[in-house]
Structure 1
Amino acid sequence: MTNLVCSIVPIEPSNKRVLLCNVVMMVVLLSSALLLASSFLTVGFHQLPILKNDGLDSVKLPLQDNCQLPILRKNNSDSGILRQPDKCQVRCKPAGSEPLPKGIVSRTSDLEMEPSLGSHETKSLEIKKQGNKKASKSLLAIPVGIKQKEIVNSIVSKFPSSHFVVMLFHYDGVVDKWRDLHWSDGALHVSAINQTKWWFAKRFLHPDIVAAYDYIFLWDEDLGVENFHPLRYISIVNREGLEISQPALDLKSQFHHRITARSNKGDVHRRMYKSKGGGRCYENSTRPPCTGWVEMMAPVFSRAAWQCVWHLIQNDLIYAWGLDYKLGYCAQGDRTLNVGVVDSEYVFHKGIPTLGGNDKKVLTRATASKENDRLAVRLRSYAELKMFNKRWNKAAKEDECWVDPYPEPDKA
């Protein structure tokens, strides 16, 4: 029997056999294309398993996190055609709120105090009289010990209560001795013995709780603010588009990296230059701490940046060493542009040790043990730095979908 071999060639009217072959080939090709297209339209972007449910075949489509997965179903009599889900199947809800009607869910909150007496309608009427406008607010959060009460008082007094909510993290457990300060009753006080700023921040500054605030000032307690004005600072940060920033440090104060030292060439600088010694920084340098970097003593985060930074903070690495080198990933864009140091509004870093520390120059037997504690703090900080970097490298290696926007340069 002669085999029928088909190929697509120019067709002549007299060649019916070739014409038939061309028609057959075109039909086969079109059928294959339609079959492939229908499989993508039916199932979605991935090959997903068929799930059995009450005698019906169904396919779950992938959606973003915290979304109720829609299910495309088919009856055995439908010849394999899946029905589209109705609108009630495609709804995104916060995890755990699925049994509730969507409109009752209050996902975000703030740190504003509410009066326990009086009606809510009275408060609403007062807001209405003011033109339905609340003053834009930011948050100032500081870890504090009673020994630095005077310094903290001078810091908080600089931040007008009409534009800032104040939250104190009491690491020494002393709260009542702050009550004589005029602003104390309006501040939020959280107490936990010997815990760090980042321990408090991870547990009490969840993005959903501080979503109402434009900026998060997460400062240490040993800062002199004679030359700092918060509202002027925010105005500069807004104008410059800084998502992560810090006030510059007075040249007479203690600083660890030159990039945080105050420059007199303008309101803001975003990089430093160093042509001698180790860790050199040039105009084309792209890595921290040459650019895209702030220190951890007085960072200021935009709302969007904090939503990212909170996830970056590790639950158990309480000193956050190494975190500063990764903050640029949360800068909502190019870290060389969106991270900067504000020079015209600067602070003085007093360099007072707190946890495990001692502020006396001459040691006595009573304070010697505190010096040992301070050494233990340093040792744990270095250990946490290594652990954080190890976790980062492991996560970056294992996440096949993540692309590093700041890849390490090839080493010669």
Structure 2
Amino acid sequence: MQTSDICKDRCRPSGSEALPQGIVTKKSNYKMRPLWGSSLKNDNPPPSMSLLAIAVGIKQKAIVNQIVEKFPLSDFVVMLFHYDGVVDEWRDLSWSNSAIHVSAVNQTKWWFAKRFLHPDIVSEYNYIFLWDEDLGVENFNPRRYLSIVKDEGLEVSQPALDPSRSTVHHQITARIRNSIVHRKILKFRGNTKCYGNSTSPPCTGWVEMMAPVFSKAAWQCTWYMIQNDLIHAWGLDRKLGYCAQGDWTKNVGVVDAEYIVHLGLSTLGVFNGSEALLSKSKEVDKRPEVRTQSSVEMNIFHERWEAAIKEDRCWVDPYQLISNQTRH
């Protein structure tokens, strides 16, 4: 093959065409680098790492500290999304200087994730823990959790919720005793029933959004599905199966052996008098408005999903393929 033919076939990142290929660095990470005294020559392979990202407010400092201390810094990079603008008051925690701190007032976990967890930036991390701040982790070990996830082949997962101590919104997230992992539920009452051969949410193929864990490949897909302007991400949970890298009745699950407590704290939309957003009252509670906005965004997301299906004539719904295989 001639040189001209080789050059034509090269796939190059958009914008890098003016550069020699060897100098193009396509990906990055959150590893901090010293200002001096560091040798750039390191023949050792980089350690296998995962990422813990949490949206936090200073009022939940003690709870967040308990969460982070469960995650060994040798195995995890920690990233805090400060939605209340308070950063310096975290500096007294032993791990704070090792964490990445990002601050934007009154923004949600999904707003931060869309802007600061681009797949090219987090591609070195095997798993992405994208968690809320109101989680009890007394019975949770992240190393054991990931060991189970790998053994079970889960691409999208979450730790089960202790039903006796948690705010449980959906049955599929509740812990099942004497179980390692469950992937579906049985539900014979109510408007939506779930049977052993059910193949779609709310029966199987999804997790809730307070403590999801994504594989590298699943996160790349999920990131593209997050909408820039729909910051509450309601409705996204029922579509996570599309990012499960195959059969979501097998690749999406809830880990019962390593479980957490969901405290159910509604923190977004509450401002106290120390914040510059207020001028008269000491505290304003906008949580009802936040919930209303979340519902509005869910409807918009569903409308966009349906419109996207109609516009993309080449797209084949894998849900339908799995359903057809199950029937036959």
Question: Would you say same fold, with TM above 0.5?
Answer: yes
What is the CA-CA distance between 1:334 and the residue it aligns to?
0.3
User: Match of 1:196?
Assistant: 108
Q: 1:164-183 residue pairs with structure 2 within 5 A?
A: 164-183=76-95
Q: Distance in 1 between matches of 2:87 and 2:3?
A: 59
1:117 to 25, 36, 50: 36
> 2:28 & 2:283 partners in 1: Cα distance?
45
Q: Where does residue 287 of structure 1 map in the other structure? A: 200
Correspondence for 1:186 among 94, 98, 101: 98
Partner of 1:258: 171
Amino acid at match of 2:139: N
| Equivalent residue number for residue 241 of structure 1 | 153
- Amino acid paired to 1:217: F
- Structure 1 counterpart of 2:255: 342
**Inter-partner Cα distance in structure 1 for 2:271 and 2:195:** 38
- Per-residue CA deviation, residues 145-191 of structure 1 (Å, 9 max, x unaligned), is 00000000000000000000000000000000000000000000000
Query: 2:22 corresponds to which residue?
Result: 103
Deviation at 1:133, TM superposition (A): 3.5
Residue in structure 2 matched with residue 302 of structure 1 by the alignment: 215
Q: CA RMSD in A?
A: 2.0
Report deviation, 1:118.
1.3
**Distance between the aligned counterparts of 1:189 and 1:324, measured in 2?**
26
Map 1:5-404 → 2, pairs under 5 A = 86-121=5-40, 124=41, 127-128=42-43, 132-252=44-164, 253-357=166-270, 369-370=284-285, 373-404=286-317
One-letter amino acid of the counterpart of residue 355, structure 1:
L
What is the SS of the residue equivalent to 2:319?
Answer: coil
- How far apart are 1:135 and its partner, in Å? 2.4
- Structure 2: stretches of 5+ with no match in the other structure: 273-279
Q: Is the 8 A contact 2:271 2:284 kept in 1?
A: no
The more displaced of 277-286 and 154-163 is 277-286
Tell me the alpha carbon deviations over residues 315-346 of structure 1, each in whole angstroms, 9 at most, x when there is no partner: 00000000001110000000000000000000
1:149 and 1:84 mapped to 2: Cα distance? 59
State the alpha-carbon separation in 1 of the partners of residues 282 and 319 from structure 2: 45
How far residue 85 of structure 1 moved from its aligned partner, in angstroms, is 6.5
| CA-CA distance at 1:314 after TM superposition | 0.3
What SS is found at the alignment partner of 1:99?
coil
| Number of equivalences | 314
CA-CA distance at 1:89 after TM superposition: 1.3
| Cα distance in 2 between the residues matched to 1:148 and 1:375 | 20
Change (3 A) 1:190 1:368: closer
> Cα offset for 1:278?
2.2
Aligned-pair identity (%): 64
Shift of 1:264: 1.3
Residues 219-251 of structure 1: CA deviation (Å, up to 9, x unaligned): 000000000000000000000000000000001
| Max Rg structure | 1
Amino acid at match of 2:23: I
The TM-score with structure 2 as length reference comes to 0.92
Q: Which has the higher contact order (CA 8 A, sep 6+)?
A: 2
Distance in 2 of aligned mates of 1:295 and 1:244 = 10
Q: Which has the larger displacement, 236-245 or 257-266?
A: 257-266
What residue identity is the alignment partner of 2:243? C
Question: Residue by residue, what CA displacement relative to the aligned partner does 1:7-57 show, whole Å, maximum 9, x if unpaired?
Answer: xxxxxxxxxxxxxxxxxxxxxxxxxxxxxxxxxxxxxxxxxxxxxxxxxxx
